[in-house]
Structure 1
Amino acid sequence: MLEHDVLIIGAGLAGMRAAIAAQAGGANTAILSKVHPVRSHSNAAQGGINAALTDRGDRWEDHAYDTVKGSDFLGDQDAIEVMCRAAGKSLIDMEHMGVTFSRDDEGKLGTRNFGGQPIARTFFVGDFTGQALLHVMFEQLVKSGVQSYEEWFVTSLIQEGEQIAGVLALEIKTGVLHAIRAKTVIFCTGGCGRLFEPSTNALIVTGDGMGLAYNAGAQLMDMEMVQYHPTTLAGSGVLISEAARGEGAYLRDKDGNRFMEKYAPNMMELASRDVVSRSEQTEINAGNGVNGCVYLDCTHLGEALIMEKLSQIRELGIDLAGADMIKEPIPIRPGMHYIMGGIKTDIDGRTNVPGVYAAGECANVSVHGGNRLGANSLLDTIVFGERSGSHAAEAASGMDFIEFNESEVVRQEESRIQQMLDRPENGDRWGSIRQDLGDSMNKNLAVYRDQAGMQETLNLIPQLKSRYAGVPVQNKGRVFNTDLVFALELGYMLDCGEAITASALERKESRGAQARTDFPSRDDDNWLKHITVTKGEQGAELGTLPVTITKWTPEERKY
């Protein structure tokens, strides 16, 4: 049987950083991913990574305060302190690993401004920082000697009592199902962006880890907090980096007015993402946009700066919207980008299920609270990926493998998968169910929400689950059956959709990314708390946990 002390599911930045740390801690470590590691969605991060370097006159305390304020005071301040203290070392570690960060005229690491932060502390590689970090991390993964299961898909966890014993995983290339025994499992599976259509997220971002952990008894938290990025391209919904505004781009309405001065007179286009997205949507709803969009204007930045620092998003504008940002403004609108919620963990990545850890976007530490600051996500993956890998390795050193009947657990899972493959044609498709889910989420759980809309989606999800229970898989083979993989993913997506919608209905206030037209104010007296979701016999069961406050008392947010 395949067995490892530490098994990491997902090979983006958090997963690879966790694997490298666990291997360095002496554990027999493996990493498993449904795609080749450098195809992970960390690849798509554009703008940069935040760190407060003391030699620049910056302080980690200031970075932490900006993060707390950006979270609309829902972030746990002890975890935020851990992240911001570690940021400088993590940044330098990445530079030493080989990341070629952009540099200023003096040859020092260059910075750019990013939203919600009055000081420039965002370090970057052009407008493809995630790609640069991911490829360097992959080099380090290869160097470390970690066993890698590429293009394998986890279908379920193996549990003996409450303790994790391993996973069942489909080798996509052959269609063979394997049991992998593990003392500890770390989920680094990313977000669940494709619950929403459109989304800036890759098609692989389907909430697999959240769904697997949820079904194994793990607690989810802050699931209602879904970030709509202010600048996604008209039509395709592809991300146009905040780096453009960090370099000085303007947001304009149909008449050319910089409307952000009405909403954030100090920070303007660099207010926090939730504030900017709401401002745009308000202008669009008022008829001040064009075809559901406003404009991102970079023309005053000049060709030299755009070609040096924003070349990728310029190409995206030309290829997908027919607009060259050197010569003309490009049409943008808010679009689903990130989930602040996820699997509830402590600062070492531990969940409430013994032996199960999580890090990165699939986890909730909670350092992002109600709204993530741009460029804190790459930092989150590296800081908490390393911490979870180190802790899991240490924990595994004092544990024994849990015995289970390999042939029986494989047989049961094989039977479940075969039943899916044997379903007769009924005219339905997993793609149709997925589109209906995505349309409803984007309609009712977007920038603005209300009771009626969210209830509509919550009522739809059981209908979609009923359709899912009988949806056929048209490809009946086993070799590289992506039709089967997509169908399996959809089950996780439906669970995540239910958790998001139930949590959003429960929070009867507006805070961070949750902007309710029927409860337009923040209500610290009743809702300065986290909403948790666990799987019960009848579906999602909700609870609450207190927000950890260390130094910064909640106050009104102004930008």
Structure 2
Amino acid sequence: MADGEVVADHDVLMIGGGLAGLRAAVAIAETSAHLDVAVMSKVYPMRSHSVSAEGGAAGAIADDDDTLDEHAYDTVSGSDWLGDQDAIEAFVAEAPRELLQLEHWGCPWSRQPDGRIAVRAFGGMKKMRTWFAADKTGFHMLHALFQTTLKYREVTRYDEWFVTRLLVDDGRVQGVVAIELMTGRIQAVTAKAVVLATGGCGKVFPFTTNANINTGDGMALALRAGAPLKDMEFVQYHPTGLPFTGILITEAARAEGGWLVNADGYRYLQDYDLGTPSPTPVLRSMELGPRDRLSQAFVHEAEKGRTTASPYGEVVHLDLRHLGEKLIDSKLPFVRELCLKYERIDPVHELIPVRPVIHYMMGGVHTDIDGAAGLDGLYAAGETACVSINGANRLGSNSLPECLVFGARSGRAAAEYAGSAPPTTAAVQAQVDDEVRRLRALLDRPAGDDDGVARIREELQSTMEEAAGIYRTGPSMEKGADAVQALRERADAVGIRDTSRPFNTELVAALELANLVDIGECILLSGLAREESRGAHQRTDFPARDDEHFLAHHLVRRADDGSPRIEQLPVTITRWPPGERVYGR
């Protein structure tokens, strides 16, 4: 089969095989059995990054003295009032139903002694509403969804295909160009609707909980196709990553009673304003403050000289020893396994060194409440998308049900659109041919001696960490944006040493690098435009929240000359006017 051929035509094509993509596929198959559905992923679905989620999934259970309104308010407040409240209300209403449906599909939620669903506390949540499956929640959720897709013959899978371009003609998305990694062939797959669900872009930073596959592919594809990205300046640090690998030590460890202590063995969070209304924060719950404020507290501890030096930067310690071996083995077995394997320490007897680490993108492809992404036939869900329920800071355990709720919504919306969409136009073949020429030219470009993909990527990551870290300034972001522009020119000229076609990882890395450069530029330019401090975006030159000028989303679009352009979009407020972020009531 020659490069550039159209290998298949589908009604709806999902890009990404994680929770959001598979949930969208099931929604389509269940509601529109006559539609031809496909899932394309650059990894086998069970290797999607969703599998690594540990802590749990939030959903209010009325029997546990919880309400939808309380979950909604916690999410609105946690977002620092930048979350769209219509989307948040829909999310909290549908999350419990989605979690219960997942149990019917085989997810083994942990149970209370009386057989009811077990829930645990999570940061920023006033009630215990986080469902969990020990501390391997993402694995069990994804496994249940994956095996559910297998019963639908309508779902075709393209495992280990890497999408390089969205095909857009006549004002609508009509498919993709992708590389089949096993053969290296460049093929087109057409579709009446495309759902982007490729996850986040943590690899734009050097120290992240994200897998190597999280390179912002879906966001970059949408941006180049003409769809806007939203709220890209909001990048979440998780306060407890292992210092060598960046592997996450789940928030569940603190939910079960773990303590964060500094070099003096002192629970330092009691010295910081985490949004609790009392001047004397409750010692049991202060480790469950919002992630942005816990990460900021770490920086202040380091400035005071109260952290511990390690070969991989300053650290504090997470203390689980008082929980006991029985609780750790029953509720946190994966935490113990990770510590033993990657740090050679046993948390039953020893302190765990941790530091803040890039974890999640609040921003992403701008969508409406049903996943529509600004171009006819294009939808997005999961971390790739920004609907927005997370605003300036995501609360822990909201991301997994977000994948389910908006994966299902985007799937149903894409199915409805595809049911009446016209056939693919012949004009897209010219775009396919153009993409084949571009990729062949990249393979044929001679590689220099010094400027390889890895070197440019490392410089990009160090630039982003310096310019867009936990605390930022206008000059640092401006300097970073200039550096990223210079890196773009080098990335555009990079050559490939490996000219073979099957499983050419250097070619994939070069294409991922282009995506990372685009995303890094969007993060910095959006941050420069937001002259305030809100949630995860903290500017020392503008330390206050400014609702008068910046109670608005930032959209990033490609201008006609290819440069990014920043616009504002009002935040949707339904019931809760902006107020102080308060936790622990």
Pick the TM interval, shorter chain.
over 0.9
For the 8 Å contact 1:293–1:333, the answer to whether it is kept is yes
Give 1:171 shift. Answer: 0.8
Task: Give the structure 2 partner of residue 380 of structure 1.
Answer: 402
Task: Give the structure 2 partner of residue 138 of structure 1.
Answer: 146
Task: Give the structure 2 partner of residue 186 of structure 1.
Answer: 195
For the 8 Å contact 2:77–2:582, the answer to whether it is kept is no
Listed one character per residue, the Cα deviations across residues 167-226 of structure 1 (whole Å, up to 9, x for unaligned) are 111111111111111110000010101000011000000000000000000011000000
2:56 to 48, 62, 74: 48
Task: Give the structure 1 partner of residue 391 of structure 2.
Answer: 369
Give 1:304 shift. Answer: 0.4
Listed one character per residue, the Cα deviations across residues 105-125 of structure 1 (whole Å, up to 9, x for unaligned) are 112111110000121100001
TM-score (norm 2): 0.94
Identity %: 46
Structure 2 residue 297 is matched with structure 1 residue 279: yes
Distance 2:562 2:185 in 1: 33
Q: In terms of mean alpha carbon deviation, does 202-211 or 315-324 score higher? A: 315-324
Q: How does 1:45-444 map to 2 (within 5 A)?
A: 45-145=53-153, 146-263=155-272, 264=274, 265-266=281-282, 267-291=285-309, 292-405=314-427, 408-427=430-449, 428-444=451-467
Task: Give the structure 2 partner of residue 553 of structure 1.
Answer: 577
Distance 1:451 1:405 in 2: 44
Aligned to 2:158, the other structure's residue is in SS state strand
For the 8 Å contact 1:25–1:394, the answer to whether it is kept is no
Distance 2:432 2:572 in 1: 42
Give 1:56 shift. Answer: 2.1
For the 8 Å contact 2:168–2:428, the answer to whether it is kept is no
Give the letter for the 2:109 counterpart. F
Distance 2:348 2:101 in 1: 35
Structure 2 residue 515 is matched with structure 1 residue 515: no
Give 1:406 shift. Answer: 6.2
2:564 to 524, 540, 557: 540
Aligned to 1:381, the other structure's residue is in SS state helix
What RMSD in Å do the two structures reach over aligned CA positions?
Answer: 1.1
Distance 2:56 2:47 in 1: 19
For the 8 Å contact 1:509–1:515, the answer to whether it is kept is yes
Give 1:407 shift. Answer: 5.2
TM-score (norm 1): 0.98
For the 8 Å contact 2:50–2:138, the answer to whether it is kept is yes
Give the letter for the 2:70 counterpart. D
Give 1:402 shift. Answer: 2.2
Give 1:236 shift. Answer: 1.5
Structure 1 runs (4+) greater than 4 angstroms displaced: none
Distance 1:284 1:404 in 2: 60
Give the letter for the 1:200 counterpart. T
Q: In terms of mean alpha carbon deviation, does 380-389 or 257-266 score higher? A: 257-266
For the 8 Å contact 1:191–1:361, the answer to whether it is kept is yes
Distance 1:412 1:510 in 2: 43
Listed one character per residue, the Cα deviations across residues 316-336 of structure 1 (whole Å, up to 9, x for unaligned) are 122222321111211111110
Give 1:55 shift. Answer: 2.4
Structure 2: segments with no counterpart, 5+ residues: 1-5, 275-280
Give the letter for the 2:287 counterpart. E
For the 8 Å contact 1:3–1:180, the answer to whether it is kept is yes
Distance 2:80 2:509 in 1: 36
Aligned residue pairs, count: 559
Distance 1:443 1:322 in 2: 30
Distance 1:124 1:322 in 2: 26
Aligned to 1:144, the other structure's residue is in SS state coil
Structure 2 residue 509 is matched with structure 1 residue 486: yes
Give 1:447 shift. Answer: 1.0
Task: Give the structure 2 partner of residue 457 of structure 1.
Answer: 480
Give the letter for the 1:546 counterpart. P
Q: How does 1:491-502 map to 2 (within 5 A)?
A: 491-502=514-525
Structure 1: segments with no counterpart, 5+ residues: none
Aligned to 1:260, the other structure's residue is in SS state helix
Give the letter for the 1:450 counterpart. T
Listed one character per residue, the Cα deviations across residues 257-284 of structure 1 (whole Å, up to 9, x for unaligned) are 1111122324411111111111112112
For the 8 Å contact 2:196–2:379, the answer to whether it is kept is yes
Give 1:405 shift. Answer: 4.6
Task: Give the structure 2 partner of residue 16 of structure 1.
Answer: 22
Distance 1:201 1:242 in 2: 15
Distance 1:418 1:112 in 2: 52
Give 1:367 shift. Answer: 0.3
For the 8 Å contact 2:71–2:92, the answer to whether it is kept is yes
Aligned to 2:233, the other structure's residue is in SS state coil
Aligned to 1:280, the other structure's residue is in SS state helix
For the 8 Å contact 1:336–1:446, the answer to whether it is kept is no
